[in-house]
Chains A and B, each alone.
Chain A
Amino acid sequence: MSVGALEGALAWPEEKYRICGDTGLRVYAKAETLIKVNAVVGVVFLAVGGLFGLLVALTRWPAVHLLPAEWFYTLLTAHGAAVLLFWIIFFEMAILYFASAILLNCRLAAPKFAWLGFILMVVGSLMATVAVLQGESSVMFTSYVPMKAAPHFYLGLILFAVGALFGCMVFFGTLVIAKEEKTYEGSVPLVTFGAITAAIIAVFTIASGAIILIPTFLWSIGYIANIDSLTYKLVWWAMGHSSQQINVSAQVAIWYAIAALVLGAKPLSEKVSRSAFLLYILFLQLASAHHLLAEPGISSEWKVFNTSYAIYLAVLGSMIHGMSLPGAIEAAQRRRGFTKGIFGWLRQAPWDNPAFSGMFISLVLFGFLGGISGVVLGTEQINLLLHNTLYVPGHFHATVVAGTTLAFMAITYLVVPLIFRRELILPAVAKWQPYIFGIGVAGISLFMMGAGTLGVARRHWDITFSDSVFTFDYPGTAFLMMGLNGISAILAAIGGLMYVVVVVGSILFGKVRDEAAIKANPIVAPGAAVSSYGGEGTLKLPGTIVLVSVFFLAFVLYYFINWKFLSEVWPLS
Chain B
Amino acid sequence: MAIHAVKGNWWNEPLHRMEIIWISIAFVWGLVMFSAMIYWHIAGQQNLSNEAYRIDPEVFAARAEAMADQYTIGEEGDTGVPIVQPPPGSDVYLIARLWEWWPVLQFEKDQSYRLHLSSMDWQHGFSLQPTNINIQVHPNYDLVLTITPTEAGEFFVVCNEFCGIGHHTMVGKIRVVDKK
| B81 within 8 A of partner (CB) | yes
Kindly state whether residue A556 has any CB partner on chain B within 8 Å.
yes
Q: Once bound together, how far apart are the Cα atoms of A148 and B100, in whole Å?
A: 20
* A228 on the B face (CB < 8 A): yes
- B38 lies within 8 A of chain A by Cβ: yes
B123 A457 Cβ-Cβ under 8 A: no
Residue among B1, B7, B135 making CB contact with A528, cutoff 8 Å: B1
Question: Complex Cα distance A36/B6, Å?
Answer: 28
Chain A residues near B25 (CB-CB < 8 A): 552
Do the beta carbons of A567 and B45 come within 8 Å of each other?
yes
Query: In the complex, which of the residues A296, A379, A383, A460 contacts B142, with contact meaning CB atoms closer than 8 Å?
Result: A296
Q: How far is the CB of B33 from chain A (nearest CB, A)?
A: 6
CB neighbours (8 Å) of A327 from chain B are 16, 18-19
Using a CB-CB cutoff of 8 Å, which residues 95-127 of chain B contact chain A?
Answer: 100, 117, 121-123, 125, 127
Do A387 and B171 form a contact, CB below 8 Å, given A304-B37, A315-B26, A472-B158? no
A360 sits at the interface (CB 8 A):
no
**A293 contact set on B, CB distance < 8 A:** 48
Return chain A residues, CB-CB under 8 Å to B79: 469-470
Q: Tell me which of B48, B52, B123, B140 has the highest count of chain A C-beta atoms within 10 A of its own C-beta.
A: B48
B29 touches A388 (CB 8 A): no
Q: Residue A33 at the B interface, CB < 8 A?
A: no
Stretch from A48-56, A122-130, A259-267, A439-447 that touches the partner: A259-267
A311 CA to B100 CA in the complex, in Å? 40
Contact A73 B165 (CB under 8 A): yes
B129 touches A187 (CB 8 A): no
Neighbouring A residues of B59 by C-beta, 8 Å: none
Residues of A within 8 A of B1 (CB): 189, 260, 264-266, 528, 531-533
Residue contact B161 to A300, C-beta cutoff 8 Å: no
Q: Which residues of A contact B171 (CB under 8 A)?
A: 465, 468-472
A531 to B122, CA, bound (A): 58
Q: Check B22–A323 contact: CB distance below 8 A.
A: yes
Using CB atoms, name the residue of chain B closest to A317. B26
Residue of chain A at shortest CB distance from B159: A457
Q: Do A469 and B100 form a contact, CB below 8 Å, given A73-B165, A461-B168, A462-B168?
A: yes
A271 touches B15 (CB 8 A): yes
A interface bracket (residues with beta carbon within 8 Å of B): 35 or more
Q: Mark A520-533, 1 if CB is under 8 A from B, else 0.
A: 00000000100111
In the bound complex, how far is the Cα of B147 from the Cα of A569, in angstroms? 11
Which of these, A380, A454, A556, contacts B37 with CB under 8 Å? A380
A267 touches B2 (CB 8 A): yes
Q: Contact at B169–A533, with CB atoms within 8 Å?
A: no
A494 vs B130: C-alpha distance when bound (angstroms): 35
Query: Quick check: is A348 within 8 A (CB to CB) of the other chain?
Result: no
Q: How far is the CA of A570 from the CA of B25 in the complex (A)?
A: 34
Complex-state Cα separation, A536 to B168, whole angstroms: 55
CB closest chain-A residue, reference B127: A457
Q: How far is the CB of B93 from chain A (nearest CB, A)?
A: 14
Indicate which residue in B3, B33, B136, B169 contacts A294 across the interface (CB closer than 8 Å). Answer: B136
Nearest CB of chain A from residue B143's CB, rounded to whole Å: 3
Q: Provide the residues of chain A in CB contact with B88, threshold 8 Å.
A: none
Point out the residue from B5, B33, B121, B170 that lies within 8 Å of A468, measured CB to CB.
Answer: B170
Q: A297-B52, A459-B167, A537-B15 are in contact. Are A571 and B31 (CB under 8 A)?
A: no
Does B145 have its Cβ within 8 Å of any Cβ on chain A? yes
Interchain nearest-CB distance for A57 vs B (Å): 16
Q: For A461, what are the chain B residues with a Cβ–Cβ distance below 8 Å? A: 167-168
B129–A385 touching, CB < 8 Å:
no
Binds B, one of A199-207, A235-243, A497-505, A540-548: A540-548
| Cβ contacts under 8 Å, B121 to chain A | 146
Taken together as a complex, chains A and B put the C-alpha atoms of A261 and B46 apart, in Å, by: 50
Quick one: which of B38, B141, B158, B173 contacts A230, CB cutoff 8 A? B141
* A13: Cβ under 8 A from any B Cβ: no
Q: In the complex the two chains form, is B123's CB within 8 Å of A147's CB?
A: yes
Q: Output the nearest chain B residue to A525 by Cβ-Cβ distance.
A: B1
A147, A313, A571: which contacts B163 (Cβ < 8 A)?
A: A147
Which residues of B have CB within 8 Å of A324?
19
Shortest C-beta distance, A463 to chain B (Å), equals 8
Contact A256 B49 (CB under 8 A): no
Q: Which residues of chain A (1-46) have a CB below 8 Å from chain B?
A: 23
Interface 0/1 of A299-331, CB less than 8 Å to B: 110001000100111011001100110011000
- A518–chain B nearest beta-carbon distance, Å: 17
The answer to whether A308 and B140 have CB atoms under 8 Å apart is: no
Tell me which of A228, A455, A465, A567 contacts B127 (CB under 8 A). A455
List the B side residues contacting A533 at CB < 8 Å: 1, 4, 6-8, 10
- Cβ-based interface call for A134 (8 A): no
- Once the chains are docked, how many angstroms separate the CA of A457 from the CA of B79? 24
List the 7 closest A-B pairs by CB distance, nearest first. Answer: A312-B30, A296-B143, A186-B7, A457-B160, A296-B52, A472-B156, A256-B2
What are 8 sample pairs from A and B whose C-beta atoms fall under 8 A apart? A327-B16, A460-B167, A465-B169, A528-B1, A572-B46, A572-B47, A572-B145, A573-B47
